[in-house]
Amino acid sequence: MNKKILSLLSQNARLGAEDIATMLGMEPQQVAAEIHEMEQSGLICGYKTVVDWDRLESAYVSAVIELKVTPKVGLGFEEIAERVMHYPEVEAVYLMSGAYDLSVMVKCKTFQQVAMFVAKELSTIESVNATATHFVLRRYKEFDVELTNSDTDDRGNYLL
């Protein structure tokens, strides 16, 4: 496990082993091997693109749904979390401290679909006691990337 490689890849997943090796003063083969190992072990879970979907007309509708659930004896929250995360509409599931238990990020094509998903799927799960649905109105920052700012360099070319 190499934290520096992870840190570089988490900022920019497209950096190649060659560049990473140069930046860290390592051998490219060694970097490639370490990345491969982290992929195999599941420490690196995947590579995706950060998209500003709101720029498209066919934008998605996202919602954060709070679930209050009754944990099962012996299984805690695992069983319900696993059940919820398998739905294709679900992007993320977190166990939370505080007023509710599970936070579920859902993405659908329309508001109606989100509503139906909550009503027909989530609410009907036996151990779910209550739901609260919060729709996302606008995304400002995602995965550390500011979506609203165009990335301009306003530094002047002064001779310094």
Specify the DSSP class assigned to residue 155: -
Q: Which residues contact 70 (CB under 8 A, 6 or more apart)?
A: 127, 129
User: Cβ closer to other proteins: 21 or 95?
Assistant: 21
CB of 30 to other proteins, least distance (A): 15
Phi, psi of 29 (to 5 degrees): -60, -40
Task: Provide, rounded to whole angstroms, the least separation between the CB of residue 28 and other proteins.
Answer: 11
The CA dihedral of 33, 41, 92, 104, to the nearest 10 degrees, is -160
Please say which residue, 58 or 157, places its beta carbon nearer to other proteins.
157
Least distance (Å) from other proteins to the CB of residue 11?
9
* Beta carbon nearer to other proteins, 51 or 132: 51
Q: Report helix, strand or coil for 121.
A: helix
Distance CA 4, CA 54 (A): 33
- Closest among 125, 129, 69 to 95, alpha carbons compared: 69
Inter-residue contact 44 to 8 (CB < 8 Å): no
Closer CB to other proteins, residue 45 or residue 158?
158
Smallest gap from Cβ 45 to other proteins, in A, equals 23
Task: Provide, rounded to whole angstroms, the least separation between the CB of residue 15 and other proteins.
Answer: 7
Q: Which is nearer to other proteins, 24 or 90 (CB)?
A: 24
Can you give the binding site for other proteins, defined by CB under 8 A? 8, 12, 15, 19, 22-25, 153, 155-160
